[in-house]
Amino acid sequence: MRILRTPEERFADLPDFPYEPRYADVPDGLRMAYVEAGPADGEPVVLLHGEPSWSFLYRHVMPELAAAGLRAIAVDLVGFGRSDKPADRAEHTYARHVEWTRALLFDALGLSRVTVVGQDWGGLIGLRISAEHPGGVARIVAANTGLPTGDIPMPEVWHRFRNAVLKAPVLDIARLVQAGCRTELSEDVRAAYDAPFPDESYKAGPRAMPSLVPITPDDPAAPANRAAWQVLTTLDRPFLVAFSDGDPITGDMAPILLKSISGTSGLRHPVIKGAGHFLQEDAGAELGRQIAAFVTST
């Protein structure tokens, strides 16, 4: 496996992101990065980002969790942020991303009673981890995400995004993030989203992720996702559905989760107003307050 590592100087002067990076080794000789906020002995809340962002996306969520006495841990998925980047798209598989992230949380960091928060691909990975290793999970938050099995068609807007990522000669990371936001991103914020990727050779992860989403029933990842659904529907863990009011990509998943997952029963599920697909960017503080209230009350 040919592995690229983004030079640290690319991450200088990040706006509103004062957190010192931490690192841990995971399988296949890779190093994953993460940042923390809040007391070290607080209940751990793991924040998993999606395509094509990184832990910087959670910079307005983390202070709210820390203020509530929680230990916020924002992870950079392999291929993103400060984490190592396999240079060959074929090295990125759904199963590998699940295992890399699981190994970070439970083997390297030794976490237990984790609240798993997933948005976009962070949900596709986090929901699988929660279903396959429920003993380490205390609660789950799904925020603009889902767990596709290929049995239900994806929306047309998602197919347009997938095709754009696959075919673009130059993948404009900041533009993709901006397209999923309702607020206008400043130049320094756009630069922060571009920072992990000095050139096209570093973008195998963002290039690969859309094609790893199961969109046909015979997709290699479909059986594992169906098995995860079977666990999640009856799992006795509090499950919060915290979607925005303006996500054309995953918005239809909210009612399915609410209807199917037993852990959603008896909870008040917020709708984050005025936010798009990247609700952490549009309404991060509000999302953070909702997650903190959920964790501290369950």
pTM: 0.97
CA angle 118, 15, 64 (to 5 degrees): 45
Residue 153 has pLDDT above 90, yes or no: no
Of the residues 60, 92, 97, 277, only one is catalytic, namely: 277
The answer to whether 120 is a known catalytic residue is yes
pLDDT above 70: percentage of residues in the chain: 100
Other C-beta atoms lying within 10 Å of the C-beta of residue 152: 12
Span 102-129, average pLDDT:
98
178 Cα distance to chain centroid: 17
Note the pLDDT of residue 158. 84
The CA distance from 69 to 170, in Å, is: 42
The answer to whether 92 is a known catalytic residue is no
Of the residues 84, 120, 219, 282, only one is catalytic, namely: 120
The answer to whether 218 is a known catalytic residue is no
Note the pLDDT of residue 58. 98
175 Cα distance to chain centroid: 18
Other C-beta atoms lying within 10 Å of the C-beta of residue 216: 10
DSSP-derived 3-state class of residue 96: helix
Report the run of H or E that residue 31 belongs to, with start and end.
strand 30-37
Other C-beta atoms lying within 10 Å of the C-beta of residue 197: 25
Note the pLDDT of residue 164. 87
Note the pLDDT of residue 218. 94
Give tens-digit pLDDT for 217-234: 999 999 999 999 999 999
Give tens-digit pLDDT for 31-40: 999 999 999 9
Residue 154 has pLDDT above 90, yes or no: no
Note the pLDDT of residue 156. 87
Of the residues 76, 84, 219, 247, only one is catalytic, namely: 247
Contacts of 202 by beta carbon, 8 Å cutoff, 6+ apart = 4, 6, 85, 87, 196
Note the pLDDT of residue 194. 98
Structure tokens at 87: 């240079």
